[in-house]
Every structure is written in structure tokens, then in C-alpha cells.
Amino acid sequence: MSNNVIIFDTTLRDGEQSPGCAMSLAQKKRMAKALASLGVDVIEAGFAAASPDDFNAVASIARDIKGPTICALARCNDHDIREAGRALQEAEKKRIHVFIATSPLHREHKLKMTKEQVVTKAVAAVTLAKSFTADVEFSCEDALRTEKDFLAQVVEAAIAAGATTVNIPDTVGYTTPTEMFDTIHFLKTTVPNIKQAIISTHCHNDLGLAVANSLAAVEAGARQVECTLNGIGERAGNCALEEVVMAIKTRANHYGLDTGIRTEQILPSSRLLSAITGSVVPRNKAIIGDNAFAHASGIHQHGMLSHPETYEIMRPKSIGRIDTSLVLGKHSGRHALVDKIKELGFDTASEDIERIFADFKALADRKKHITDADIEALVFGQSSTGPWQLAQMQVTSGSGDTIASAAVVLVGPNGSEHREAATGDGPVDAAFKAIERAIGMEVHLEGLSVNSISEGIDAQGEAQVRVRYAGQNFHGRGTSTDIVAASVSAFMDVINRISRQMAKAS
């Protein structure tokens, strides 16, 4: 038996069945291109008979995407199969995927067919599909709730009619890994012609078991896994491509198998899909979530600094992520803090570390995100937050005769609240004036610049403010996706630096 697992990607078909994940033709083509460079073996491009748009998407992908086999889904009826054949006409490598439900529930209540009628339909469908392409896949929808002997009968008939892949879907995500293993093992040992076809699996995630069930099928002898990027799909989704592929790769010592996926392209492809569908991947999602390679606790961070394999079973680069991140926060320890201080280019004497560490812990208890600027301030013996905090700000501005104004609420050193408003030459000027009034401090603005430090419509702006106060120059920095907010944050930074210096001097 081959040790290669065929990756059948159905992001564009079952994935698109996720509520809210509909894609335009251009988006599907962009995604298909990304899937081809990711190295999937089969792209299920759509259900050609579903609508003119679906037909065009399949036809266009079939014409333009080279490399993977392009597949179209069809019910077991002549019209669907002919539409699939027509849409796939120009494909370099094409597959028609026909399916019919086999479980008693679906037979009786949905299809209103007897077992014999289901078998007859399946055989006729495979036979017709074979007239368009040699590569025909047959799926027994709801296979895992089908009587085992009937399942074996349908699979045998479909193979005899020419199916080259037989797919055993857990359509409703009902099965367990052991049941899945037993079912595939049963088919392998019961169906006389099973060796003439590749056994495939297609698992849904209703109980969160889609990946586990797919891997169980593979262990029992399935050599094709149907999956989607980010695990999108009908209801709770499908087996996640990134998870099943990385499980096979990372546990090659267990499975002894491989896939043709270029795993370094997993994250870029996943991000493209999120951008196209607008569906955000949860931070803790395996492989592709923002936290998947982030370490926040001191003991883990120390381990990671000693040897990455202590707490990481895969390297971030293997899925296309630049690096691991050690997130500094309330759970961090001295090792991670010292590492960050060194990374920022400081050579801090060991006697200073205890003081910096104590200040760091106090700050981390108050602040969720510790930034490089915070660490810098701690090294310099300052707390970057306070004594003044901007609690609220509202600015108004417009074109023509509109007068820009700003209202601010600041919280002062003793927790006292200071409210002020001002008008100015634009919203930034108005906000600076309102802040000065609220604090009772007047500074001379020497310069303000705002630069983009990331790309795109939601780029982060970094503002730098230079002011003169009591004969000295001070400098502040702030970032935000909003340029007024970035400027105000830089101004608050400079005001706080001045206030801290004055407090030290008094």
C-alpha cells in the first residue's frame, strides 16, 4: 500500500457551504491558485449543476489551474453528471465525484428510495461519469450511519462500475475514531474488489472529531483525506487540512506516511482564505492560530530559550510562520525578560535585573500588552505608563468652516479625573490643547510626524512628537491605526516623560 496520502481539498465546494463563506469567481480562482501552489492533489472546485456561477467557477478553474486534478461534485442523476463533465472539459486532469446517501434515515426520509434503488442509481451514475473521465469518485453520503453490510454492497457495486476512489464520509460528524477505524478495516477485509480503488474519507466536525476520525481512517488504510483550509465547511466544518497534514508530517514516526503538501505555504494560504471569506481564525486554533507558536508563561519561555523542542513539536517556519513568539506578560519570568532586554540591545548589569523584574511584574499586573517601549522604559528606570492616563477622548473635525474640537478625560497621579475641551487648527491640535489644559502644563511643540509602519488600509501609523519644556527637549512615540489616536498617544507619552522627570527632580 502506498505511503502517500492524497490531499483532496474541498475548500471551494464543502468549504463554501459554510454560512458566510460564499466566494466570487475571482476569489475562487485566487484560492485555487494558492491551493495548487500549496500542493494539494485534488481541488474540488464546486458543484457544477448548482448554479451558473458554480458552473463557471468549475469551468474557469478547470481551464486555468494546472497541477492538481480538478474535481466537480454531482448527484447521482444525468443532469448533474453531464454538467460536471461539461464544466471540466478543459481540465488537464479531471475527476467527477458522484454521491448518494446510503443510511436508512436518508434513504427513507430524504431520497425515498429502497436499498436496491440506491445501488442502481450509484452504478448508473458511476457508469455515466466514466464516459467523461476515467477518474471517478463515488461517495456514500452518511456512510457512518449506514448498515455495514449494505455499505459494503454499495462500495463493491460502485467499484465494479468503475469508481477509482470510494469515499466514506462521516457526513454529520457522528462517528468516533475507533468506529471509523473499524469501518474502513471492515470494508478493506470484506469488499472483494476494494484493492481496485483508493479508499477516501470526508469527516465533518460536529463533535470536534473530524481530524481524529480522518487520521483513524488513514491508520486503517484510507489513502485519501478530504479536507478544507481552516476547517471551514457545512455546519461546524470539515477536517482541517493544516491539522491533518501537520499531524501526518509531525508524527511520521507513528503514521509512516507523507503528503505532497508544501507545508511552509499553509499559513499564507490560510490567511488568504480568511481575508477572502472574512472569517477570523480563533487565536488558539491548532497550527494557524495566532497563539499556536506563542509562549506566555515563564517556565515554558525558559524551556524554549534552552531548547525549542521543550515546548514546540513543530517549528513555526515549517508552516510558514516567521518565528516563535515569547509573549512578555504577568506569567513571564526572568529568563524571558533578560532575553528581551538583550534583543533590544541593552547590556544590563545583573544587579539591575531584580529591580527591572520587580517593576516589570508590577507593570504586567496592570497592563495586558507589554511593549518593547515598556521594557525600554523599565530598563531606563521609568514606568512607561503614567502618571497620566487618557481615559476618554472625542474629537470632531470637518471641511470648510467646521471648527475642530476635542474633549478629553484624563486620570491623574492620584486617580483624580480631569475633564477639558478645546478647539484648534485641526483635531490633533485641539486634542493636544485639551490635554495641556487638563494637566495644567504648557509645552512647546517642536515637531510632529506620522509614518505608516505596516501596509494596507488598516496600516499602523507611528507618531513621533518632539516638544520643549523648561529648557529641555523631550520626545514621545505612539502607534495606532488612527492617525489622530497615534498622535495623541505620542503626546501622552511625552507628557508622562516630562511628569516623571519632574517628579524625580522634586
* Residue 429 contact, options ligand KIV, ligand ACO, none, Cβ 5-8 Å cut-off depending on partner type: none
Q: Among the residues of 147-287, which ranges form H helices? A: 148-161, 177-190, 210-220, 241-250, 252-255, 266-277
Picking from 223, 299, 235, the residue whose alpha carbon sits closest to that of residue 259 is: 223
Beta bridge partners of 202: 169, 226
CB of 272 to ligand ACO, least distance (A): 23
Quick one: 141 or 374, whose CB is closer to ligand ACO?
141
Contact of 478 with 490, CB cutoff 8 Å = yes
* 181: contact with ligand KIV by CB under 6 A: no
- Tell me the helix, strand and coil percentages in the chain, rounded to 5: 45, 20, 35
Quick one: 139 or 214, whose CB is closer to ligand KIV?
139
Strands 325-326 and 404-411: unpaired
- For the segment 108-147, give every residue that binds ligand KIV (CB under 6 A): 139, 141
Quick one: 33 or 145, whose CB is closer to ligand KIV?
145
CB of 210 to ligand KIV, least distance (A): 10
* Residue 76 contact, options ligand KIV, ligand ACO, none, Cβ 5-8 Å cut-off depending on partner type: ligand ACO
* Residue 374 contact, options ligand ACO, ligand KIV, none, Cβ 5-8 Å cut-off depending on partner type: none
Contact of 138 with 165, CB cutoff 8 Å = yes
> Is residue 369 a known part of a binding site?
no
CB of 240 to ligand KIV, least distance (A): 15
* 99: contact with ligand KIV by CB under 6 A: yes
Quick one: 53 or 359, whose CB is closer to ligand ACO?
53
Beta bridge partners of 8: 42, 226
* Residue 41 contact, options ligand KIV, ligand ACO, none, Cβ 5-8 Å cut-off depending on partner type: none
> Is residue 14 a known part of a binding site?
yes
Name the site residues for ligand ACO (rule: CB under 6 A): 14, 17, 47, 49-51, 75-77, 99-100, 110-111, 141, 171, 234
> Is residue 238 a known part of a binding site?
yes
* 169: contact with ligand KIV by CB under 6 A: yes
Using CA atoms, how far residue 480 sits from 455, 488, 490, 494, in Å, is 13, 10, 10, 16
CB of 427 to ligand KIV, least distance (A): 53
Quick one: 120 or 324, whose CB is closer to ligand ACO?
120
Picking from 17, 12, 20, 6, the residue whose alpha carbon sits closest to that of residue 59 is: 12
Contact of 228 with 15, CB cutoff 8 Å = yes
Contact of 223 with 4, CB cutoff 8 Å = yes
* Residue 202 contact, options ligand KIV, ligand ACO, none, Cβ 5-8 Å cut-off depending on partner type: ligand KIV
| Distant-in-sequence, close-in-space partners of 373: CB < 8 Å, separation ≥ 6 | 384, 477, 493
Contact of 50 with 22, CB cutoff 8 Å = no
* Helical (H) or strand (E) element with 83: helix 78-87
Query: What whole-number distance in Å separates Cα of residue 488 and Cα of residue 479?
Result: 9
Quick one: 118 or 431, whose CB is closer to ligand ACO?
118
- Judged by CB under 6 A, the stretch of 113-121, 164-172, 397-405, 476-484 that binds ligand KIV is 164-172
* Residue 100 contact, options ligand KIV, ligand ACO, none, Cβ 5-8 Å cut-off depending on partner type: ligand ACO
Query: What whole-number distance in Å separates Cα of residue 54 and Cα of residue 13?
Result: 9
- For the segment 61-90, give every residue that binds ligand KIV (CB under 6 A): 73
Tell me the binding residues. 14, 202, 204, 238
Tell me the binding residues for Mn(2+). 14, 202, 204, 238
Site residues (vs ligand KIV, CB under 6 A): 14, 73, 99, 139, 141, 167, 169, 171, 202, 204
